[in-house]
Amino acid sequence: MIRTFQRHIVRKQMELSESLWQFEPCSGPYGGQRFLMAVPGCWESHPLFADYRGEGIYRKRFQAEGDIQIECKGVSHTAVLVLDGKQIAQHYNAYTPFLVVVKDLAKGEHLLEIKVDNRFHENSALHLPNDYMSYGGISRGVMVEQLQSAYFEYAHVKTIRKNDRWFINLKAAISVLKKERLRDKKVIAKVTIDNQTFEWNIRIDEKDNYELNTVLEMEDVLEWNPESPNLYQMVLQLFVEDDIIDDLIERFGFREVRISENNILLNGKKLRIKGVCRHEDHPDYGCALPYGAIYHDLVLIQQMGANSIRTVHYPNDEIFLDLCDEMGILVWEENHARGIEEEQMKHPLFEMQAENVIKEMIAAHYNHPSIFIWGILNECASETLFGRECYKKQFELIRQMDDTRPCTFASCKFFQDICFDLPDVVSCNIYPRWYVDQSTETYMTEIFDWIEQDKQGKDKPFLVSEIGAGAIYGYHNQHQGKWTEEYQMKALNEQISTCLQYDGCSGVYIWQFCDNRVSKEWFASRPREMNNKGIVDEYRREKMSYAKIKEIYGQYGNYFD
């Protein structure tokens, strides 16, 4: 499964995932042997490779002819694509999609090989030993699509609210593969939204790419919000004379996110965030959670009264985003980085790799109404001048690509941070009662006082982007000390209640939804090689905190007024 709705009726698609591929590890005790491996999936889900860090080759045969596009939604974490023995693409980073167009294939069977690498190699500036696991494998869907002489590359919909009227700004791109077949022909792209249609006449000349940019006013709009997540479809069809040669279906929602003074407004109302941070992680599936397991997480989260998820610390699978769109869950989506210090940010490939994640993330996820904010560079060197330059450049890039959403970063450098003037929303990761032996009230007051003095982040909305405490599922002791379920529950009770009542705080993200595996090269002080601050454990069994959070979140609505 690639998405939760059909994206093409005319364009022929073939999913290569949701099937077994041949897998050959390149090293280790099974190096050179062949196995069957589920795609999408992580090789860690196979008992023989539960701890394999290295390279592996996946192979799949398929039938095709002519011009095709191969899209990988995510390969963890470095991929080299080889088709019929010839390298056609290379991609770094587990968490963003990439595609390659291959022209003039002969009719018949073709062999796709994907060489995957999950080692922390010297060319990897973002995948590092860390407080989460960098798994190995083709962890998201793979699709082959048959292309005609021209096709839709993308369509982005921006919804604009002006004096209670709704407009959409549509940007779509067409790519031409065979100009000679289209020259002097009537080429029309037809866009249908609801019952409005718009036609765009294209004169094919020497160019390979054509861009449409138009604004349409929409009547009787049903807004998207967490209470009523109304979704609309936009159908794009490409005609040559009277034949339809390509199509693209996109889904979006009418909603506006705006910052006003120190509030985040959703369709004009002051939003209160009751959130959780969530890693894509499960002992049975690694980072490749199937649709049903993602849905299960979202139901647990929503039933607990949360209205938002922060995708720590990387962009998530589009199935997750589709479900959030449908279920009305607000998403803080962030680029890939966690705790990268100045020295590591100076890695010669850091800037390019981080920017690529931003570019691929925004291009692919632009239309999801659930995403209400972009986050970058969690807990990186925002206390240094070099770090500041990186934050600045990345925010500029985001704003250039998307001026409809605010942006932020989660800082742990407050009291030294020199970047709070850069984001639209100031966010801090805080751990009173866990790493810091202070009450939440005292700690929050110190931070607010510092922001007031520092002035850079003053008068901006403020979010607690992480707060929490560890607990091992089923662990109790007489004194209810750290790592017991009781301690976690007591700490979270105080932390969350304080944040939600704190004047000037727009909301809170609990660290974290479920326990997650950490890379063993990093494990630090983590029992079980897991980050145990989940309010459910890795199998989604509720710790005592879950019911407590449900009680607290249940007392607060989605808005401040």
Q: Which residues bind ligand ADA (CB under 6 A)?
A: 131, 312, 338, 378-379, 412, 429, 466, 511, 531, 533
Least CB distance to ligand ADA at residue 123 (A): 23
Closest CA to 140 of 74, 76, 57: 74
**For residues 297 and 307, what is the distance between their CA atoms, to the nearest angstrom?**
13
User: Cβ-closest residue to ligand ADA?
Assistant: 131
* Burial 337-366, CB ≥16 within 10 A → b, else e: bbbbeeeebebeebbebbbbbbebbbebbb
Give the nearer residue to ligand ADA in terms of CB position, either 75 or 312: 312
Least CB distance to ligand ADA at residue 429 (A): 4
Give the nearer residue to ligand ADA in terms of CB position, either 333 or 466: 466
Give the nearer residue to ligand ADA in terms of CB position, either 466 or 537: 466
Least CB distance to ligand ADA at residue 523 (A): 12
Question: Tokens 């021209």 identify what position?
Answer: 150
Alpha helices in 226-340 (DSSP H): 291-303, 318-327
Q: Containing H/E element for 493?
A: helix 485-501
**For residues 508 and 489, what is the distance between their CA atoms, to the nearest angstrom?**
16
| Cβ pair 532, 526 in contact under 8 A | yes
Least CB distance to ligand ADA at residue 302 (A): 23
Q: Which two tokens stand for residue 195?
A: 């019952």
Give the nearer residue to ligand ADA in terms of CB position, either 71 or 466: 466
Least CB distance to ligand ADA at residue 4 (A): 28
| Cβ pair 316, 329 in contact under 8 A | no
Give the nearer residue to ligand ADA in terms of CB position, either 358 or 412: 412
Give the nearer residue to ligand ADA in terms of CB position, either 353 or 378: 378
**For residues 251 and 120, what is the distance between their CA atoms, to the nearest angstrom?**
37
Give the nearer residue to ligand ADA in terms of CB position, either 246 or 379: 379
Helices (H) and strands (E) in the chain, counts: 8, 28
Least CB distance to ligand ADA at residue 95 (A): 15
Strand runs (DSSP E) across 317-379, as ranges? 330-334, 371-376
Closest CA to 406 of 470, 319, 330, 305: 330
Least CB distance to ligand ADA at residue 341 (A): 13
Least CB distance to ligand ADA at residue 521 (A): 15
Give the nearer residue to ligand ADA in terms of CB position, either 365 or 413: 413
Give the nearer residue to ligand ADA in terms of CB position, either 146 or 531: 531
Alpha helices in 373-532 (DSSP H): 385-401, 440-454, 485-501
Strand runs (DSSP E) across 163-195, as ranges? 165-176, 187-193
Judging by DSSP bridges, how do beta strands 273-277 and 308-311 pair with one another?
parallel
Distance, first Cα to last Cα, the chain: 40
Q: Which two tokens stand for residue 403?
A: 């001026």
Give the nearer residue to ligand ADA in terms of CB position, either 310 or 368: 310
Give the nearer residue to ligand ADA in terms of CB position, either 133 or 174: 133
Least CB distance to ligand ADA at residue 384 (A): 18
CA distances to 63, 165, 392, 458 from 422, rounded to whole Å, are 50, 31, 7, 12
Least CB distance to ligand ADA at residue 468 (A): 7
Contacts of 346 (CB under 8 A, 6+ apart): 386
Least CB distance to ligand ADA at residue 157 (A): 32
Q: Which two tokens stand for residue 500?
A: 């939600």
**Number of C-alpha atoms within 13 angstroms, CB side, residue 310?**
31
